[in-house]
Structure formats: structure tokens, C-alpha cells
């Protein structure tokens, strides 16, 4: 009866046993989490959500938008001097007097009064208008428009830089999480090896040195996993800081790093020359330098101003001498031309400096264009090289995993030493780490290309 029960139990257990992976490496890989399955505290944070929060709350972007609003408020014809100024004035003065008067001729009797009220009231308005100021008014209005455009472009540049920083930081979190998974898998393999070494040592088929070496390697992998957990926390703190929220806020990521392989240099260069905000700012600064030269030249021409006004005066004198009451209305005007003749050669100096400033602005524009083109070319080379490395590391990672399977089987049956297995395992960890780094580097280069070409808002900010 006991024998039949044992046979029945063995038959029932055989299918379940057959479903379990025989290789310890396979068991370790099955226990290891993936980016999609690893437990993560906090709510899911997508890349689009992260970008939206950062652009909305970023302090520098808010400052830029407020400065842009100031520039928009300043861009008016009144601020440029096209409109006249109108002022009004109202004044009233008076007093209570007590007086006693006697006269030299002795014919008139003395006069005496108390509480006499005297008042004089003035009411008027004046209009001032600059008829001509050497075309400075037109130049100033153009300058205000250019300053508004500079402010708008600066805001766009900071928005694009913020999107790039958030995207790079987000994928860094994904990278650190992938590294954590890789180190966790390495630790599981070391645990399988440690259990095997302990069992072999206890039955006497392996030396204690083998068992102790397995213990040391297991501890080393445990320390590496702890360090990687700290690296993941640091990456999350950095991303939380960019999102303007509590640095310790927990969140989960589910996105994997998927690199675009189809970016071409020529369209990126064309977009850079057309849309890059840093280059646009350099062009606008050169235009502003030309406007400053126009303003300096305008000081050589006459300035014609016109003023007109109307004033009304009311006099009420209760003293009984002089004018008792009076009403006066007067319309006045004044037309004046001011012609600069000599001011110690300061005007000549200002014009010369303005010309030099235009040359500086031209050189700065050319330098900015060259620097951006150089940065785009270098980043594109990094991008292409990273793609090539990524394809190579994918193959290396597959080969390294197969090599670990073979090496463990050889180590298990005693055909290789623990040193040989550890070397194979270390190579596999390095291959997986290089694969993760190649993915991240390619993605970071892709994000920088999108930023330089000023297409990042359309690609990532949707």
C-alpha cells in the first residue's frame, strides 16, 4: 500500500516537475522582475505628464513669461513717442485778512475790516507733442517690437530646454531602474551558485574555498544592488526637482527606452537654421544693434516740439481795493526747434560705438550659428555611433546570457572552477549594463538633436 501511494505521488508530481526550469540560471531569470512587473511605490508618471507639469510650474519659464508680458505691455505707440501728452492743472489759493487803512491825503476816512476773504483760482490744460525727432520715434517703435520678439524667443528656448531636461531625467530613471533589475538578476544567479556551493561543500564534493568565494561574490552583488537602489533614488529626486514638487515624492515609470533610428542630419540642420531660438535671438540682437545705430544718428537731426494749452483764472477779492472780481481765459501755444551743434564730440563717440556694436552683433550671430552647427554635427555623430553600439550590445547581451547558461552547467558538474564562472557572470553583467547605457546614450543624443533643431516641442511636448 505504501509502495503504490509513493508511485502515485511520483506520477502526479512528474508533470509539475517537468514544467520547472532545470537550469538554475533560468530559475533566477524567471524570478527577476522586468520594468513592467517590478513593484514601484507611487502613482504612474508618464513622460507626457512629467513634461506638462514641468513646463507649467518651472520657475524660470514663469519668469520668462512674465518678462514677455512686460515687453508686450511696453510695445505701444505711446511708449515710442507717437502720441501727445496731455496734462491738466488746477490750483486755488486764498486767505482771510484783517486790515485797517488810513490815507495820506486825509480826505478819505480810515478803513477797517476783519475776516476779508480773497481767492484766486487757476484751471488749465496743456498738450505737448514731438513733431519730429530725427526718425528716432520710428526706430524706437521697431526696437520695442524686437524686444518683444527677443522675450518670446527666450521663453521658447527655456521651454524647450526644460522639456529636454525632463525627458533626459525621466529616461535616466528608466535607465537606473533597468540597471537595478540587471543587478537583481545577477544577485539571483549568485544566490543559486551560493546554494549549490553550500550543498556541495556539505556533502564534501567541493572545497570550503569554493563556498567562501561564492559567499564573497554574493555579498559583492548585494552591495552593488544597494548602491544601485541609491542611484535610482537620486535619479527620482532630480526628476522631482525638475517637476517642482517634493523631492521625496514616490512615482512609478513604465516606459521603456525606445530610440528612433530614422533621424537624418540634413532636415535637422534645416530646422536648426530656421527655428533654433538661440540663433533667432542672435539675429534679433543684430537687428537691435542696427536700431541703436539709427537712434544714435537721429540725435544729429533737429527736434521739433509743439505745445498748446488753455488756462482759465478766477479772481475774487473781498478786500474792496484793486480788482474785486475777474475772469481770464487764455489760449497759448509754443513751437520750438532744437538743433544740436556741439556737445564735446560725445555724439560722434556714441555713433562710432553704435557702429562697433553692430559689428559685434554680426560676429556673435555668426559665432552662434557656427557653434550650433558644430553641436548638432557632434551630437548627430554621437547618435549614430550610439545606434551602432546599441545593435552590437544587443547581440553581445544575447551571447553573454547563453554563455552564462553554459558556464553554470559546466560549473555545476565540476568541469570549470568558480573563478571561470565568475568571469563569465561578470562579463554578462557588463554586457547587460553596456546595453542599458547604449540605449540611454542613444536616447539622450536623440533628445539633444530634437532640442537643437527646435522640434522637441512637437515630438515630446504634445
Cell numbers 550543498 correspond to 199
Q: How far apart are CA 87 and CA 128, in angstroms?
A: 8
**How many CB atoms are closer than 10 A to CB 208?**
9
**Closest residue by Cα to residue 178 from 20, 14, 35:** 35
Measured in whole angstroms, the distance separating CA 45 from the mean position of its chain's CA atoms is 19
| 3-state secondary structure at position 256 | coil
| pLDDT by residue, tens only, the chain of 462 residues | 333 333 333 333 333 333 344 555 565 555 556 655 677 888 899 999 999 999 999 999 999 999 999 999 999 999 999 999 999 999 888 777 777 777 777 677 877 767 777 788 899 999 999 998 888 999 999 999 999 999 999 999 999 999 999 999 999 999 999 999 888 888 887 888 788 888 877 887 777 888 888 889 899 989 999 999 999 999 999 999 999 999 999 999 977 888 999 999 999 999 999 999 999 999 999 999 999 999 999 999 999 999 999 998 888 776 655 666 778 888 988 999 999 888 889 989 999 999 999 999 999 999 999 999 999 999 999 999 999 999 998 888 888 777 777 777 776 777 767 777 777 778 788 888 889 999 999 999 999 999 999 999 988 865
Which residues are within 8 A (CB) of 178 and not within 5 positions of it... i.e. 6 or more apart? 35, 257, 436, 439
Question: Rounded to two decimals, what is the model's pTM?
Answer: 0.82
Q: How far apart are CA 339 and CA 133, in angstroms?
A: 10
**Closest residue by Cα to residue 246 from 257, 258, 236:** 236
Cβ proximity of 307 and 126 under 8 Å:
yes
Domain ranges for the chain, please list them: 22-87+135-301+344-460
Measured in whole angstroms, the distance separating CA 283 from the mean position of its chain's CA atoms is 21
Structure letter (DSSP) for residue 255: -
Cβ proximity of 438 and 259 under 8 Å:
no
pLDDT digits (tens, 9 = 90+) for 408-445: 777 677 776 777 777 777 878 888 888 999 999 999 99
CATH class given for the domain over 22-87+135-301+344-460: mainly alpha
pLDDT digits (tens, 9 = 90+) for 315-362: 877 665 566 677 888 898 899 999 988 888 998 999 999 999 999 999
Amino acid at each position: 500500500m505504501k509502495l503504490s501511494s509513493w508511485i502515485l505521488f511520483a506520477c502526479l508530481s512528474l508533470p509539475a516537475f517537468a514544467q520547472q526550469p532545470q537550469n538554475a540560471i533560468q530559475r533566477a531569470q524567471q524570478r527577476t522582475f522586468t520594468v513592467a512587473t517590478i513593484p514601484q511605490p507611487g502613482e504612474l508618471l508618464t513622460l507626457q505628464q512629467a513634461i506638462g507639469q514641468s513646463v507649467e510650474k518651472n520657475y524660470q519659464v514663469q519668469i520668462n513669461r512674465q518678462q514677455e508680458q512686460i515687453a508686450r505691455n511696453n510695445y505701444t505707440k505711446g511708449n515710442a513717442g507717437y502720441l501727445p501728452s496731455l496734462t491738466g492743472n488746477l490750483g486755488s489759493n486764498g486767505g482771510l485778512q484783517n486790515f485797517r487803512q488810513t490815507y495820506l491825503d486825509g480826505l478819505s476816512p480810515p478803513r477797517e475790516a476783519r475776516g476779508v476773504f480773497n481767492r484766486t483760482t487757476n484751471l488749465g490744460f496743456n498738450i505737448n507733442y514731438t513733431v519730429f525727432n530725427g526718425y528716432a520715434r520710428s526706430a524706437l517703435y521697431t526696437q520695442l517690437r524686437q524686444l518683444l520678439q527677443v522675450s518670446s524667443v527666450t521663453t521658447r528656448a527655456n521651454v524647450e530646454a526644460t522639456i529636454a531636461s525632463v525627458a533626459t531625467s525621466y529616461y535616466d530613471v528608466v535607465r537606473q531602474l533597468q540597471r537595478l533589475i540587471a543587478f537583481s538578476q545577477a544577485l539571483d544567479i549568485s544566490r543559486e551558485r551560493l546554494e549549490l556551493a553550500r550543498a556541495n561543500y556539505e556533502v564534501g564534493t567541493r572545497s570550503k574555498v569554493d563556498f567562501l568565494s561564492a559567499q564573497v561574490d554574493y555579498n559583492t552583488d548585494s552591495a552593488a544592488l544597494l548602491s544601485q537602489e541609491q542611484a535610482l533614488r537620486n535619479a527620482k529626486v532630480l526628476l522631482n526637482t525638475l517637476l517642482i514638487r517634493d523631492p521625496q515624492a514616490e512615482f512609478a515609470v513604465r516606459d521603456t527606452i525606445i530610440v528612433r533610428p530614422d533621424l537624418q542630419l540634413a532636415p535637422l540642420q534645416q530646422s536648426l537654421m530656421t527655428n533654433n531660438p538661440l540663433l533667432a535671438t542672435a539675429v534679433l540682437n543684430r537687428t537691435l544693434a542696427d536700431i541703436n545705430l539709427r537712434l544714435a544718428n537721429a540725435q544729429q537731426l533737429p527736434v521739433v516740439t509743439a505745445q498748446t494749452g488753455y488756462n482759465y483764472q478766477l479772481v475774487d477779492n473781498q478786500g474792496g481795493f484793486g480788482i474785486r472780481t475777474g475772469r481770464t481765459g487764455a489760449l497759448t501755444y509754443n513751437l520750438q526747434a532744437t538743433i544740436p551743434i556741439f556737445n564735446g564730440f560725445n555724439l560722434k563717440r556714441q555713433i562710432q560705438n553704435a557702429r562697433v556694436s553692430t559689428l559685434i552683433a554680426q560676429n556673435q550671430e555668426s559665432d552662434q550659428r557656427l557653434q550650433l552647427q558644430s553641436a548638432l554635427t557632434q551630437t548627430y555623430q554621437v547618435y549614430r555611433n550610439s545606434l551602432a553600439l546599441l545593435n552590437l550590445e544587443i547581440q553581445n547581451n544575447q551571447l553573454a546570457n547563453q554563455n552564462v547558461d553554459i558556464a553554470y552547467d559546466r560549473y555545476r558538474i565540476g568541469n570549470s572552477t568558480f573563478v571561470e564562472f565568475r568571469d563569465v557572470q561578470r562579463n554578462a553583467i557588463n554586457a547587460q549594463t553596456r546595453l542599458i547605457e547604449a540605449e540611454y546614450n542613444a536616447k539622450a543624443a536623440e533628445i539633444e538633436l530634437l532640442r537643437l533643431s527646435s522640434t522637441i516641442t512637437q515630438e515630446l511636448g504634445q
